[in-house]
Amino acid sequence: MPLLPMAAAGILDFSGKLILDAPGIRKGRDGLEYLLVPGEMIATARDISITHQDIAYQMDTKAAIPGAISVLFMKYRVKPMDIRHLYLAGAI
């Protein structure tokens, strides 16, 4: 059986929400969160988790980029097929 990302493993639903009854999900300070690494296993003694806010934040970020591209495409009547070169830049 292959190892899966969260959505395929049944931890995230199709809309990007954490599923309450899924394994590893708990109620944190700011709502549901998925515990990746318990604090007692690492030097910082702080749990590493992915919260529903993190996922919402990431989805907003992802949505903003095609939104901005669409604004330019519509305003200057450029179609995706007109693009001959795509450059990506950014930090890690």
**Residues interacting with another protein, by CB under 8 A?**
1-12, 16, 23-24, 30, 33, 36-37, 41-44, 46-51, 53-55, 57-58, 60-61, 64-65, 67-69, 71-73, 75-76, 78, 82-92
CB of 57 within 8 A of CB of 50?
Answer: no
The DSSP output letter for 22 is S
CB of 44 within 8 A of CB of 23?
Answer: no
**Whole-number minimum distance, CB 27 to another protein, in Å?**
14
**Whole-number minimum distance, CB 21 to another protein, in Å?**
12
